[in-house]
A = this chain, B = another copy of it.
Amino acid sequence: MKTRDRILRTSLALFNEEGEAAQSAVDIANALEMSPGNLYYHFKGKDAIIRALYDGFEHEMRIILRGTRGKITSIEDNWIYNYIILEEIFDFRFFYRNLGELLARYPDLAMRFRTLLAQKRRTITDLLHDLKKSNVLFLDPPMQEVLTDQILSAMTFWLSMDLIEGQHGEPAALIHKTVFQIMALVAPHMGESGFSAMQAMTAYYETQTG
């Protein structure tokens, strides 16, 4: 593997496990058993590494967001789709655990992240629209706005909440729990079928965790 890629891989792992703030350029070099000088030959510094990592994240996320135009028409599809998004976020969790800090430090990334968030918002809107058309969901426009915000928030801060709460369990369980919480935001708007769908989800959730 090329040195550049090794640096990115190791940095990502370090950031995810120990937190981005705790790692200096020298720490990264040490973890790679490489001199700081060499690290600086490949990347101008920690900033450049973080930007390169964000490039990767953004690229992947855009593919996911674009990949499902009009294909999500059932609650089950929706469930899977949420899973895919959350898995991707989890792979770059260092970024989401430090959002405020990072976006304040890199205004260019802040702008790009906002654009990505707007894209995500559009995807959620489309998705809710499709579910309404399939008569799975019943929402008036203002409530749809609010629900979109709620989903977007849940998808952005689940990792922060986990960090705050302390006891970290299995990543799979955390992602599963978060998907469940997102579905629970939608469930109350599913009318008659909503109650039973929620029951089924709860039951399913219980077999997964309890």
Contact = CB atoms under 8 A, between A and B. Distances in A.
A147 B189 CA distance: 14
Nearest to A163: B100
Nearest to A195: B140
Interface in A161-195: 161, 163-166, 180-181, 184-185, 188-189
A164 B156 CA distance: 10
Contacts of A22: 104
Given A110-B166, A164-B156, A100 B97 contact: yes
Q: For the complex, would chain A's binding face be called helix, strand, loop or mixed by DSSP majority?
A: helix
Interface in A97-147: 97-101, 103-104, 110, 113-114, 117, 142-143, 146
A196 interface: no
Contacts of A157: 153, 156-157, 160-161
B184 A99 contact: no
A43 B143 CA distance: 49
A103 B188 CA distance: 34
Nearest to A21: B101
Contact of A160 (B143, B160, B202): B160
Interface residues of A, number: 37
A80 B154 CA distance: 24
B21 A143 contact: no
A146 B100 contact: no
Contacts of A74: none
Contacts of A100: 97-101, 160, 163-164
Given A143-B198, A146-B180, A150-B181, 8 more contacts: A99-B160, A100-B101, A100-B160, A100-B164, A103-B163, A150-B184, A153-B153, A188-B189
Interface of A: 19, 21-22, 97-101, 103-104, 110, 113-114, 117, 142-143, 146, 149-150, 153-154, 156-157, 160-161, 163-166, 180-181, 184-185, 188-189, 198, 202
